[in-house]
Amino acid sequence: MQERLQQLAAVIDDVLLGKPEVIRLSLACLLARGHLLIEDLPGLGKTTLAHALAKVLGLDYQRVQFTSDMLPGDILGGAVYDQQQASFRLHKGPVFTELLLADEINRTSPKTQSALLEAMEERQVSLDGQRHALPEVFFVIATQNPTEQYGTFPLPESQLDRFLMRVSIGYPTAEAEEQMLLQGGAADQLGGVQQLLNPEQLLEAQTLVSQMQVSPAVISYLQRLAQYSRDSQHFSLGLSPRGSLAVLNAAKAWAFLEGRAYVLPDDVQQVFPAVAGHRLVGRELLHPGSEHDPASYLLSQVDVLS
Amino acid sequence: MSLFAHEKVTPKAALPGLAARRWVFFSTVLCMLPQAMNMPVWMSLLAGVLLVYAGLRLNRGIAQPPRLLKVLAVLVVLVVTALSVLGKSTLLGLVMLLVMANALKLLELRTRRDVWVVVLVNCFIIAAAYLFSTSMLSGAYGVFSIVVLLASLVALHSESVTAWPVRWQPVKTAGVLLLQALPLALLMFLVFPRIGPLWSLELATPSARTGLSDSLAPGEISNLLRSDEMAFRVSFSGEPVPESMRYWRAMTFDTFDGQRWRIDGAEQSGQLSGREGNDYQVIAEPAASRWLIALTQVSSGSRGLTLFPDGTVRAPEPLQKRFTYSLALQNETPGILSPEDRQRYLQVPAGNPRARALVDQWLAQGLSQQQIVAAILQQYRQHFSYTLSPARLQGDRVDEFFFSTREGFCEHFASATGLMLRMAGIPTRLVGGYLGGEWNPYSEYLLIRQYDAHAWVEAWLDGRWQRIDPTGAVAPERVLDGVEELLQQSPGYLADQPLSMVRLEQQFALLAELRLRYQSLNYSWHRWVLGYDSRQDDLLKNWLGTLNYLKSVLLVLVPVVAVLLAIGWWLLRGRPRYRDQISLDTERLSERLSRRQPALARAAGETLQQYSCRLAEALPDHAGALGAWADAAGQVQYDVSSGANLKLYKRCLKQLNQAL
């Protein structure tokens, strides 16, 4: 299984060049049954990543471009009147899919945002008083454009919490970009991507990840990380219990991807910035993205060994 | 950005900054400076050379001197110390060794840990300085150097101290810290019992060279007259006794062999109990003997003093340090002289026929005892002169003095008088001690110097011992004005000290005034700070009733320990109590490697794997062992499913330790 996953990562790596870290993180996010938020400028490969993931895993894929006039129904669907049968028929929205790419989620109104986020959390949608379960594999990749803030509704901290990870892809390296230009863009490459894992296998992997045992030493490390973020004067918002649980799950998935049956503190450290970065709020000196972003500062302060 | 830099590195391994290094150097020089007075000159020079070298190194960088040079320096220091200590006190040698070792340690100052060692040793050196001098000045200097020493510690731990010459912030912080510690220090000073040293310090105290000796021959006290060293200081609880009464008895001589007066019947008669004896207090300067002075015959005074039947007291042991005691004034009451004592005090050696003839003549004339005393004094008054440089005596000394030379000072007169009175059948003894003293009006105490030494006679008349001072007959001004006035023109007086303060003062009045002021302050220092030991007993007794050592030790220790425990609990309560084996091993490894190279210490956020990879890069020879150890450690620590292989881990650790 792990070999298959390594292979899978390598295939996506061929499409999205020079970003193995992001690819691994997204895979880990998927394995931990979380959702991914990509904060990035347009044109850096968010769609490519989502598309490649969907193809490799053989997932049903939908893409929604969020706009400010969008209503919850545009995402979730609703009852539609069928003139021929003279009755209401349920129209399932784009959320009823296995992999949803929610582009520029901060462009739409909070109402629409929260409809999506609720569906992500509950993994089900209520329409007309009826509950409709979403597919068992349900993975949302949402994107945000951090620079153009005019007329947007940035997600509040409580909503950010719904995403297991927040990553940014960033510009490619010179080498990768040249190769991409030579190959004529990702779209061509996507065509040749084969399905490597079926949904059953993905579900099995997810189950294996969630069942992975974790040693008390790692648990204590996680707890100390959370405790430090709560006690330290450098943080105005510490890590919530949900946050530390998220770190644990992501670390398990990372260890799984590494082909290990147990979690090391190294796994925790690998996923920590992506998982905790958007859940921590630092004071003055710890602006996210600066040299001392809150997550790495926390990692440097807390002793790994008890 | 260095904002968090000091938080990331473990403090033990971090390099001290330039400012901190300069602070440490400066404070070390300060602490070592007073020791130069105790060490031989060449030792001081060697230490100076080491310090200059260390200073230059510290100023430029902190690279170590070559190993060979270090070994050489240690050897030289050891040899030089051994050579200069040979035949002197071991304690001095140990102190010198400490001082030199500290100078050497300064040479290899690399990490904070080293600085801590140097600071700690400096504390010992400051304390050791008090073995040699306890004057007010050295006390003040000690406080000053402690403040600077603490300031260097503050500078070491404060990143903001980067400037040199100094911002005064470290000194300020150090001062505040010391002030906070003051209450505890005062409490300890007041109530902590003074337990005598468990070993005896055989430091040669300078004052031990001079003083009264335990036999007396005419001509000896004149040695003391050449010295203006302090001998005793006395203060009175009530009115001071009048000047003409200030005869300080130290010892009595009962045996005369024709040349020297000696003490034979020196059986001690008991210990003083410490009750009702506080008419006057005496601070005795260090000396080689146990003599103490008293105004009258003693019957009560400070506890622990040894009492003798002639009414003199001695200290329990030689006065290696200043000794404080108090005594009661005693009215001389008629007593009984036992037949043995009478015989002892009448013992007369053979010889001196002319003196015997004169006394026999007086007896034949039927003179009473009082009349014989008067007759002798009359002779002195008419035919004798007082001088500090008399002619030397030979043969029958009393005859020669009484009938030929007819000049001398107190010993000559006392000796001759004593013998002649014995010939006349009057029990007589010679008394050695001091006469007079200088009154300090500011602190109201009497300063007795060595040149106040005096000898006189006590005769058993009318059923009690009566003082007869024949010197008063020939030179009444010696008794009334003190030796100073009398001897100003005499060539023997202070002959060894041409620049003696006493001489200068005779010309400058202001100097005398200043001296009296300084002595007054110094007296208070001795009385209240150094001599507090003797007062403490009474103080504690007043507060707490009778105490023994155990009780008072407990009394101080129990609350202090309780407070410390409470503080410790408070500080440690948040810490995890349990550390697992692997964390401990890793910590040990990190500490060990950081000694080799500070950068090899593990950072807090470094996992075992990251740390071992970093180490493997720095120490490529041991990469294999490091990797194996980290893997095994990771499995033991984190792999729950497959079960820990402790044996493998231990083997890896052992191999790693051996490899390193």
Annotated domain spans of chain B = 5-191, 209-525, 581-659
Active site residue B410: yes
- Secondary structure class of B525 (helix, strand, coil): helix
Contact B607 A264 (CB under 8 A): yes
Cα dihedral sign, B20-B22-B23-B29: positive
Residue B641 forms contact with A (CB below 8 Å):
yes
Sign of CA dihedral B73, B77, B78, B79: positive
Q: What is the pLDDT of residues B272-312, one digit of tens each?
A: 766 666 788 888 887 777 788 888 777 777 777 888 888 88
**Catalytic residue (choose from B279, B469, B526, B652):** B469
C-alpha B125/C-alpha A153 separation (Å) is: 70
What dotted CATH number matches A2-199? Answer: 3.40.50.300
Which residues of A fall below an 8 Å CB-CB distance to B?
A: 213-215, 217-218, 261-266, 269, 285, 291-292, 297, 299-306
Active site residue B399: no
Within an 8 Å CB–CB cutoff, is residue B588 touching chain A? no
Q: For residue B61, how many C-alpha atoms fall within 13 Å in the half-sphere facing its CB? A: 3
Q: Is B106 exposed, middle or buried (0-12, 13-18, 19+ CB in 10 A)?
A: buried
Region for residue B444 given its phi and psi (left: phi exceeds 0; alpha: psi -120 to 50; beta: otherwise): left
Establish whether B157 is a catalytic residue. no
Confidence category of residue A251, pLDDT binned at 50, 70, 90: very high
The C-alpha atoms of residue A238 and residue B377 are separated, in whole angstroms, by: 103
The number of C-alpha atoms within 13 Å of B532 and in the hemisphere containing its C-beta is: 16
Q: Taking the CB of residue B580, how many other CB atoms lie within 10 A of it? A: 15
Cα–Cα distance between A226 and A239 in angstroms, integer?
Answer: 5
B4 to A297: CB separation less than 8 angstroms, yes or no: yes
Please say whether the beta carbons of A234 and A282 come within 8 A: yes
Which two structure tokens, joined as six digits, stand for B606?
């470094």
Among residues B312, B305, B317, the alpha carbon closest in space to that of B272 is found at B305
How many CB atoms sit inside 10 A of residue B165's CB?
6
Q: Is B381 helix (H, G, I), strand (E, B) or coil?
A: helix
Size of interface A-B (CB pairs under 8 A): 68
* Rounded distance between C-alpha atoms, residue B91 and residue B46, angstroms: 20
Q: Does B642 touch chain A (CB under 8 A)?
A: yes
Average pLDDT, chain A: 85
Range from A105-109, A119-123, A291-295, B602-606 carrying the lowest mean pLDDT: A291-295
* pLDDT given for residue A285 in this prediction: 61
Q: Which residues pair with B313 in a beta bridge?
A: B307
Q: What is the pLDDT of residue A246?
A: 94
At A36 the pLDDT is 92
The tokens describing A123, both together, are 């993994």
Torsion sign across C-alpha atoms B428, B433, B439, B444:
negative
Tell which CATH architecture fits domain A212-301: Orthogonal Bundle (1.10)
Q: How confident is the model at residue A255 (pLDDT cuts 50, 70, 90)?
A: very high
User: Does the beta-carbon distance from A215 to B640 stay under 8 Å?
Assistant: yes
Q: Establish if B4 touches chain A: CB-CB under 8 angstroms.
A: yes
Q: Which residues of chain B carry a pLDDT beneath 50?
A: 1-13, 200, 202-209, 498
